[in-house]
């Protein structure tokens, strides 16, 4: 009977950890669902005017162009790829916007 308090404490700590773990898992699932919902809503839409983006190919790089406001959107590392190509970024830009 001497150990009862310690055992209770251990059971309480274990149950608390279990509850927190369940809550954490639920929150992560909710966050993932929210992220998915936002992606579905905004994917390939202009962040400025909300219109659907068109994709223009420039060499190995796909540039997303907004037909409405003429904004240009590049994925990660695409700017570096364009700058590194012979024709250069400004020529690519002019070609698309012409």
Give the integer Cα–Cα distance in Å for 3 and 34. Answer: 46
| 30-46 as b/e: b if 16+ CB within 10 A | eeeeeeeeeeeeeeeeb
Q: Which is nearer to Zn ion, 68 or 85 (CB)?
A: 68
Q: Does 42 sit near Zn ion (CB under 5 A)?
A: no
Q: Contacting Zn ion (CB under 5 A), which of 68, 73, 78, 96?
A: 68
Q: Does 65 bind Zn ion (CB under 5 A)?
A: no
Stretch that binds Zn ion, among 5-13, 15-23, 38-46, 81-89 (CB under 5 A): 38-46
Q: How far apart are CA 90 and CA 4, in angstroms?
A: 76
| Chain residues that interact with Zn ion, rule: CB under 5 A | 46, 48-49, 66, 68-69, 71
């Amino acid at each position: 009977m001497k150990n009862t308090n310690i055992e209770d404490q251990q059971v309480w700590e274990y149950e608390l950890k279990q509850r927190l773990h369940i809550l954490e898992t639920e929150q992560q699932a909710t966050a993932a669902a929210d992220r998915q919902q936002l992606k579905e809503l905004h994917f390939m839409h202009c962040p400025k005017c909300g219109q659907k983006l068109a994709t223009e190919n420039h060499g190995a790089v796909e540039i997303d162009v907004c037909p409405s406001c003429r904004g240009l959107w590049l994925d990660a590392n695409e700017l570096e790829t364009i700058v590194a190509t012979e024709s250069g970024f400004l020529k690519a830009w002019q070609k698309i916007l012409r």
